[in-house]
Amino acid sequence: MADNQNTQTVTRETFNDVMVPNYNPAQMIPVKGEGSRVWDQQGKEYIDFAGGIAVNCLGHCHPVMVSALKQQSEKLWHLSNVFTNEPAIRLAKRLVETTFADRVYFANSGAEANEAALKLARRWALEEHNEDKQQIIAFSKGFHGRTFFTVTVGGQPAYSEGFGPKPGGIEHVPYNDIDALRELISDKTCAVMMEPLQGEGGVVPPDADFVKQVRELCDQHQALLIFDEVQTGFGRTGTLYAYEQFDVMPDILTTAKSLGGGFPIGAMLATEAVAAHLKPGTHGSTYGGNPLACAVSEAVLNFVNTKEVLDGVKSREQWLKEQLNAIGERYGVFKEVRGKGCLIGAELSDSYAGRAKDFMLAGQEHGVMVLIAGANVLRFTPSLIIPEDDVKEGLQRLEKAVAQVVAQ
């Protein structure tokens, strides 16, 4: 058989031998996933509250995604943008129909979608205004990806330092501090980039009216508003995009992660007037709009963008918050449980400050996968359709992990 798969035995030690050392993944290696359960090389089962960092919105290997991928894989895999393809056009049409946007640009990740958004904003400002309008304002602790432009716009300097001169014209103000933004923004501001709920920065929701006030300041100074919905988008907070809950529309929105349900894809959505500035040849990607990715994404969109699934996300928020609050009260470990839909953070109380990773690792020992968002916050980004029994069982396992850390 001309099949060379699975003929080598690989372990976590092999990872250390052959991979660039920028990641330090868990010691176990997952080999199979179904719904919200995952099994490792030793056959141990885990309940997945991590969801591939807010990616696996339909859990693992959902039949709708498997079927879309299988069907497309027998038709056409790749062309490049020298040719277009039907799945890409269909998906773009659906995104335009379901959002504020008139135009779509496809990329392969969140960072790439944001890179496109920032380049487009700069191009728009140069062509519509003048070369003094270059300033990009973003928020402390925000996260927008790891390309040099996006990581510099992100509000965690530790991530962008150590690589030499950074892209310029980028400034930060604290999230939820509208006065700080008012002071900094001017007619020289090209764009404000923000997450409608900060994910990596600690699951921090915006204060009431903050998003609206940001929009107003952008309008006053003719600056573009870019919503990074890479983490909050595609149903994660209970609406297809989080902006729908704020009654505010961006000029540009970026989306990735759940957009492909596990197949790599990102997209930048924009209004007609802004999008017009990415003329032929100004930007591009070999894989952007790949037919496999777009076929899977369209299937995910059709499944997620229904009342049943979106209402279900709100139920999951309730189950998670209630049970996490109960654990917090029993063990005194959480200061606050917050977030929206299936993007929930539990901030550790002062006595456990800085120890989020200990809880995460204890969770793995007890068969539950959770994430952290900084050193003080446990983060939960499960499938949008995780069954109630899995939520219950996963949190029972987490409680055992919490008890273990508390007893130590």
Any bridge partners for residue 193, and if so which? 226
Given the residues 234, 257, 263, 334, select the one marked as catalytic. 257
Looking at residue 11, the DSSP 8-state letter turns out to be -
Given the residues 49, 100, 139, 143, select the one marked as catalytic. 143
Q: Is 227 noted as a catalytic residue in this protein?
A: no
Comparison of 139 and 359: residue with beta carbon closer to ligand PLP: 139
Nearest to 242 by CA among 302, 275, 199: 199
Q: How far is CA 306 from CA 58, 238, 310, in A?
A: 13, 10, 6
Comparison of 328 and 345: residue with beta carbon closer to ligand PLP: 345
The residues binding ligand PLP (CB under 6 A) are: 53, 109-111, 114, 143-145, 195, 199-200, 228, 230-231, 256
E strands present in 180-333: 189-194, 224-228, 252-255, 266-270
Q: Give least dist CB 20 to ligand PLP, A.
A: 16
d(Cα 225, Cα 208) in Å, to the nearest integer?
A: 18
Any bridge partners for residue 369, and if so which? 48
Comparison of 159 and 331: residue with beta carbon closer to ligand PLP: 159
Given the residues 48, 106, 141, 228, select the one marked as catalytic. 228
Q: Is 334 noted as a catalytic residue in this protein?
A: no
Q: Taking the CA of residue 325 as centre, how many other CA atoms within 13 Å lie in the half-sphere pointing to its CB?
A: 10
Q: Give least dist CB 146 to ligand PLP, A.
A: 6
Nearest to 199 by CA among 21, 50, 396: 50
Comparison of 238 and 266: residue with beta carbon closer to ligand PLP: 266
Q: State the burial class of residue 18 (Cβ atoms within 10 Å of its Cβ: 0-12, 13-18, 19+).
A: exposed
Q: Is 228 noted as a catalytic residue in this protein?
A: yes
Q: State the burial class of residue 169 (Cβ atoms within 10 Å of its Cβ: 0-12, 13-18, 19+).
A: middle
400, two tokens: 């055992």
CB-based closest residue to ligand PLP:
110
Contact present, 348 and 367 (Cβ < 8 Å): no
- Residues forming the active site: 143, 228, 257
